[in-house]
Amino acid sequence: MAGIQHQLQVELGDRSYPIFIGQGLLGQQDLGQWVAGEQVLIVTNETVAPLYLEKARASFSGKQVDVVILPDGEFYKTWEVLNRIFDQLLEKRHTRKTTLVALGGGVVGDMTGFAAACYQRGVDFIQIPTTLLAQVDSSVGGKTGINHPRGKNMIGAFLQPRCVLIDTSTLETLPNRELSSGLAEVIKYGLIQDNQFLSWLEEHMDGLMALQSDTLAEAIFRSCQCKAAIVAADEREAGVRALLNLGHTFGHAIETYTGYAEWLHGEAVAAGMVMAADMSKRMGWLTYNDIDRITQLLVRARLPIRPPETMSPDDFYALMAVDKKNIDGALRLVLLHSLGDATVTAEFDPELLHLVLSAHQEAQE
Amino acid sequence: MAGIQHQLQVELGDRSYPIFIGQGLLGQQDLGQWVAGEQVLIVTNETVAPLYLEKARASFSGKQVDVVILPDGEFYKTWEVLNRIFDQLLEKRHTRKTTLVALGGGVVGDMTGFAAACYQRGVDFIQIPTTLLAQVDSSVGGKTGINHPRGKNMIGAFLQPRCVLIDTSTLETLPNRELSSGLAEVIKYGLIQDNQFLSWLEEHMDGLMALQSDTLAEAIFRSCQCKAAIVAADEREAGVRALLNLGHTFGHAIETYTGYAEWLHGEAVAAGMVMAADMSKRMGWLTYNDIDRITQLLVRARLPIRPPETMSPDDFYALMAVDKKNIDGALRLVLLHSLGDATVTAEFDPELLHLVLSAHQEAQE
């Protein structure tokens, strides 16, 4: 297909699918070949619809194309809002052969994927992620779901898309904070398994922040490659896939604490990665210099490096206790043996964790 | 295990599981070996809990056993009620290694299975069906889900249980209407693919209605065998599995029309099977004698053989249009070439269908 700069295949047997990356792909590409039947439902949100809905609609010419426009934000990743998708599918009489299309960020992707997983016990879906975060993270790997008042992403399913179309030009309309939020996950890939990519990011962070198209496409491609390799090895998160949660145990606690409203996902993950790095240093695995490299890269990406100052260790303990990585009640953390080498462990001194969870409050005093 | 009269294996590769059938199994059997972790959540309803909850609880000695008691009835197969299961799982901090146990009828089974499919993107579950309908139908095959105001079972997932325990003595406390409702599905197996079983049922219907334990165990075993073979051939309902829906297209329309409250599932299926048989006769496939055998067997099982008299052809058309078997808008019906030989088809004369849908109203005039 024309305009494609990078292409990769996520290898998952009969659930394998391609990711296409390029500038201006949306509207140029006819996506009809990825649709099994004659019906398409595009799910998007109030922010993205005015910008890209017509281009997306044009990608499915000749099909019955219906649309659902959701409110924008993690706050709306609820059952009530999900139900608007089911209402529309049933009202427009979509059958099992329908294809759902997620046009938007991670929230739209998660909800559309979960709706596809549940509607008539499972229909196809396609991802057109329009935020950096969704392009490098939530569009790869098939995790879908909604939030529960007691915990993020607690209700969901695994469902792989038929294909993913990443148009880097959608990032030109992305708010700066959202770009930074996506960069948190990009940096994460370097930290957990690719020291060379980490150095590349240190070299190209200014270009990424300036939205240089080729640099963005390269960063997205390398991030997707990294995630695709991990997902291919462990689709159901029985082992190595948990490494993708670096910073997320702390980060999810921050998001739940702040009601999914104040902090963007990547911002919470950034602060969480600093906490995971701090823990790793206290365990003797990382050096002061390593911590400096991490915090400097995050700061250059305009990301926070501390949790909310009002958030106490007890707040963290209560919210981390429901983390999906935990097994039979034991808290498990993703930590760094070194830069580019992560591990999941439940074996750590609780005293050290307490120091990590209280460090930001001491710093305020 | 002691007390097991029949045992069969549902063959689904790495999702294969056993079904144990016998009188008095519940409470005799330790089910701990089927639980991966240390946590169990038993989901049951207000009617079943006083009768069998303690016996079920005793089957998981040494584990953390929590309980959710739901209201009883298809009317409650909604997201709001499903959420009580999630609330309890999160409140009691159940991890990904938890096992959900469905103790009750089809509604409890469908909701518990769907909760297991979605909680943390999927945990284990075990079925202990206590109604005949659940024992012969919903506990085999992995269909789970909830209703949507616009259609039955529209939201759901496929998830196979780890094992199914069928204690025929639970049928002694089952209301007569519920027993009849289960017999509708038993008769269905004979009609769609087992003419010999149909003759066996004609011979043993009085024994089944009198709750003869060995006769019940035999009928349940043969029903499960029939369904297990079909599910093994077509887990995701791409083909032959649709035959299990004999009478269900009409039946689901009846259930939706009456708000899931007046008619039991098997009652609606019984009336639906007569309509499917009527259609098959009008297409020249069945004889008057075949129709007589079907209606007589249903009447002996104290099942209805007509839809609600107020329900018009237009009511049926509107409600059948959202049936999950439909492909690209075309209505598909399960019909009978002969007794014991069903087929799915979209090729029929709409005039004949109209006659079938209006016959019960003409009969009233």
Structure tokens at A257: 């604490």
Domain positions in chain B are 6-173, 184-364
Binding residues of A, as ranges, are: 72-77, 106-110, 130-131, 143, 152, 170-173, 185, 248, 265
Indicate the pLDDT class of residue B321, thresholds 50, 70 and 90.
confident
**Which pLDDT score is estimated for B239?**
82
**Best CA proximity match to A4, nearest among A19, A138, A34, A61:** A19
Average pLDDT of A34-48? 96
CB contact under 8 Å between A158 and B93, yes or no, is no
Alpha-carbon distance of B84 to A267, in angstroms, equals 32
Question: What is the DSSP annotation of A137-188?
Answer: IITSS-EEEEEETTEEEEEEEE---S-EEEEGGGGGGS-HHHHHHHHHHHHH
Alpha-carbon torsion angle A89, A90, A93, A97, nearest 10: 50
**Which pLDDT score is estimated for B364?**
56
Alpha-carbon distances, residue A171 vs A130, A174, A216, B243 (angstroms): 7, 5, 9, 49
Alpha-carbon distances, residue B51 vs B170, B172, B216 (angstroms): 9, 11, 20
pLDDT in tens, B11-54: 988 899 999 999 999 988 899 999 999 999 999 999 999 999 99
**Best CA proximity match to A251, nearest among A308, A327, A302, A177:** A308
Mean pLDDT, chain A, as a whole number?
93
**Which pLDDT score is estimated for A362?**
78
| Partner-chain residue, chosen from A83, A143, A329, that has the shortest CB–CB distance to B93 | A329
- The length of chain A is 365
**Which pLDDT score is estimated for A364?**
56
Indicate the pLDDT class of residue A166, thresholds 50, 70 and 90.
very high
- Enzyme catalytic residues of A: 121, 143, 185, 227, 237, 241, 245, 248, 252, 265
Indicate the pLDDT class of residue B218, thresholds 50, 70 and 90.
very high
| Partner-chain residue, chosen from B86, B144, B328, that has the shortest CB–CB distance to A97 | B328
A residues 244-303 near B, CB within 8 Å?
Answer: none
**Which pLDDT score is estimated for B361?**
87
Residue A201 pLDDT > 60: yes
**Which pLDDT score is estimated for B259?**
82
**Which pLDDT score is estimated for A301?**
98
pLDDT in tens, A219-248: 999 999 999 999 888 887 778 889 999 999
Average pLDDT of B57-63? 94
**Which pLDDT score is estimated for A172?**
95
Residue A37 pLDDT > 80: yes
CB contact under 8 Å between B95 and A143, yes or no, is no
> Coil, helix or strand for B36?
coil
Q: CB atoms < 10 A from the CB of B76, how many?
A: 19
| Nearest residue in chain B measured CA to CA from A147 | B120
pLDDT in tens, B100-123: 999 999 999 999 999 999 999 999
Residue B221 pLDDT > 90: yes
Distance from the A360 Cα atom to the nearest Cα atom in chain B, whole angstroms: 27
A310-319, B133-142, B324-333, range with the lowest pLDDT: B324-333
Residue B153 pLDDT > 90: no
A contacts of B37 (beta carbons < 8 Å) = 327-328
Share of chain B above pLDDT 70, in %: 97
- What's the DSSP call for residue A346? S
**Which pLDDT score is estimated for B149?**
86
Average pLDDT of B215-226? 96
Distance of CA B33 to the CA centre of its chain: 26
- What's the DSSP call for residue B260? T
Average pLDDT of A278-294? 97
Fold annotation for B184-364: Dehydroquinate synthase-like, alpha domain (1.20.1090)
Residue with tokens 């006659």: B355
Residue B295 pLDDT > 70: yes
Residue B237 pLDDT > 80: no
B171 known member of a binding site:
yes
Alpha-carbon distance of B56 to B34, in angstroms, equals 14
Indicate the pLDDT class of residue B330, thresholds 50, 70 and 90.
confident
Alpha-carbon distance of B34 to B162, in angstroms, equals 7
Taking the Cβ of residue B36 and every Cβ of chain A, the question of whether any pair is shorter than 8 Å is answered with no
Indicate the pLDDT class of residue B66, thresholds 50, 70 and 90.
very high
Distance from the A87 Cα atom to the nearest Cα atom in chain B, whole angstroms: 8
3-state helix, strand, coil in chain A (%, to 5): 50, 20, 30
**Which pLDDT score is estimated for A328?**
65
CB contact under 8 Å between A118 and B155, yes or no, is yes
Residue B363 pLDDT > 70: no
β-sheet with B6-10: strand ranges across: B6-10, B17-22, B164-167, B124-129, B99-104, B39-45, B64-70
B residues 66-85 near A, CB within 8 Å?
Answer: 79, 83
CATH of domain B6-173: 3.40.50.1970
Give all strands (DSSP E) within A230-348, no chain letters: 333-338, 341-345
B112 known member of a binding site:
no
- Decide: B127 and B139 in contact? Cβ < 8 Å: yes
- Enzyme catalytic residues of B: 121, 143, 185, 227, 237, 241, 245, 248, 252, 265
pLDDT in tens, A99-149: 999 999 999 999 999 999 999 999 999 999 999 999 998 878 899 999 998
Average pLDDT of A269-278? 98
Alpha-carbon distance of A55 to A64, in angstroms, equals 15
> Coil, helix or strand for B156?
strand
B76 known member of a binding site:
yes
- Decide: A320 and A254 in contact? Cβ < 8 Å: no
- A176-364 belongs to which CATH class? mainly alpha
Indicate the pLDDT class of residue B91, thresholds 50, 70 and 90.
very high
Share of chain B above pLDDT 90, in %: 83
Alpha-carbon distances, residue A289 vs A180, A199, A203, A293, A342 (angstroms): 23, 14, 17, 6, 17
CB contact under 8 Å between B157 and A117, yes or no, is yes
